[in-house]
Structure 1
């Protein structure tokens, strides 16, 4: 890949990579606090236990690497066990949101617009596969990603949606036909799907549509997540930033390969 430049717009506000990296670090510290409160032991490269105070003294890049290393060390099964009660709370939240919604998913939409130079449109199609096959990429893309895996039945994972509440355990279906809004046919490629609670597959907690087209020096992405009408606006707004951080870091990771 050529050197990347990434421009991000969310609801008419431009975000620099430095701003998104700052939010990434804030959420990294949040996850460390969360994990330690749940009983996780955070180890450095030498196997030494780190306290919250010691983690706070690290640089942001060091914290990013430390969180990824500890998520990889613990692995999916231990992370699921650690967050088991938290994910039950998230299930209850989504069940309540859906129960109090009007059935529409086009009223609460998180949108992020990215223009990325130095990449080709053909590389967009690799995103889902790379994210599912390489935990370094998928877990490193956002501090609140805890699992992204592909298997014969689809994609599975758990993450904190919108920097709000607890992590949600989800099953994702790709290539669905019924979307909350039509695709924009000015975009050449579309990645679409829905996510359902893994423990209650009748509950659709979000739809996703990520659209891409060539730009002068790379690609342009319109990323969208569509939530039930009763979803808190703070979650919707937070998830727009979540999407921008995720896509930015996936392309950064691809550029390093």
Structure 2
């Protein structure tokens, strides 16, 4: 029986230029993003929430079980960024969705232009002043987000005193149950800023949830920081 040859494939254009697999991967990623953005735009708002209603309900039950088994204990999911060409204040001004005049640009524009493209699993804004429907690990979650005026001491313990700007949010399930905390830290440098983005999850969260949400944060905030830089520099 003849041995099987190793698979290989070469693509080229009529002008004779060879196209690498990585370049085709980039083309595929571009059109996948465009196709997904089209679907998110068509389903934006209540149609998307209706479509995901059963999965949101299943996610709520899953996350409530994790919360109950955690007995008030938490653990961290974190990514660190170092950005040049933009300051933390410039990033935060863009991120809060307020233009130079101080006037809010509304909800539809920030979601479709900023939140939806930032991660494939950003499905919709929630039915709250501030919230998001997204995957957390392998389950869909609808969270209500509130800026935390006084950061709890146990959340601050994850911080680093070298980072002088700190922002925390408390994230709730639909029934008002606290699910997790978001905790961001910023430190400006001569040419840019350092940024730590962490989520403080209930300790019973399985490792795959922690690992996949770390990946989520890396994808999401790389997109946000790059978009803020592009907005700043036209």
TM-score using structure 1 length: 0.70
SS in 1 for 2:212: helix
Counterpart in the other structure of 2:89:
122
Unaligned runs of 5+ in 1: 1-21, 26-57
Cα displacement string for residues 218-250 of structure 1 (whole angstroms, at most 9, x for unaligned residues):
110011100111111111111111111111101
Instruction: Tell me if the contact between 1:130 and 1:137 (Cα under 8 Å) persists in the aligned partners.
Output: no
Q: Secondary structure at the match of 2:213?
A: helix
Equivalence map 1:83-122=2 (5 Å): 83-105=52-74, 108-122=75-89
> Match of 2:160?
184
Q: Does 1:253 align with 2:227?
A: yes
Aligned CA distance change for structure 1 residues 214 and 141 (closer, same or farther; 3 Å): same
RMSD of the alignment, in Å?
Answer: 2.3
| Deviation for aligned residue 1:188 | 2.0
CA deviation after TM superposition for structure 1 residue 101, in Å: 0.9
Q: How many residues in Structure 1 have an aligned counterpart in Structure 2?
A: 195
Contact 2:91-2:229 at 8 Å conserved across structures: no
Contact 2:118–2:220 under 8 Å retained in 1: yes
Alignment of structure 1 residues 128-167 onto 2, 5 Å: 128-130=95-97, 134-135=110-111, 136-148=113-125, 154-161=129-136, 164-167=137-140
TM-superposed deviation, 1:121: 1.9
Per-residue CA deviation, residues 2-36 of structure 1 (Å, 9 max, x unaligned), is: xxxxxxxxxxxxxxxxxxxx8xx9xxxxxxxxxxx
Q: Secondary structure at the match of 2:154?
A: coil
Indicate if the aligned counterparts of 1:111 and 1:225 stay in contact, CA closer than 8 A. yes
Which residue pairs with 2:180 in the alignment? 206
1:223 counterpart = 2:197: yes
Aligned to 1:196: 172
5+ long unaligned stretches in structure 2: 1-24, 99-106
Deviations 1:179-209, CA, capped at 9 Å, x for gaps? 53324331121121111002x10x2111010
TM norm structure 2? 0.76
Preserved contact between residue 157 and residue 169 of structure 1 (Cα < 8 Å): yes
CA distance in 2, matches of 1:244, 1:234: 15
Equivalent residue runs for 1:35-74 within 5 Å: 59-74=28-43
| More displaced stretch, 76-85 vs 167-176 | 167-176
Tell me the distance in 1 between the aligned counterparts of 2:91 and 2:229: 12
In 2, Cα distance between equivalents of 1:179 and 1:62: 45
3-state SS, counterpart of residue 90 of structure 1: helix
* Structure with larger Rg: 2
